Amino acid sequence: MNYITLTDQQLDVVSRGRDPIAVRDEQGNLRGYIAVIVTNDEIADAKRALASKTPRYSTAEVLAALRSKAAP
């Protein structure tokens, strides 16, 4: 198996990724992608959330509620 060692800053970017991450060389040329792996725990959490009866709000609904509470 091949591997690379990431700096703390690079690891932070990878760990926060939810979409594939493009890997480029110093000249900006695309060299490949790092795939994001979803864990079994994350899948189980998502399934529990979907099965829950708690209300769900869209991003637009949340933003509208925040705007209505904003100070003038």
User: What CA–CA distance (Å, rounded) separates 41 from 28?
Assistant: 35
- Residue 36: its pLDDT value, please? 80
Write down the domain spans for the chain: 8-69
Predicted confidence (pLDDT) per residue in 9-49, tens digit? 988 888 887 788 899 999 999 999 988 888 888 889 989 98
State yes or no: pLDDT of 60 exceeds 90.
yes
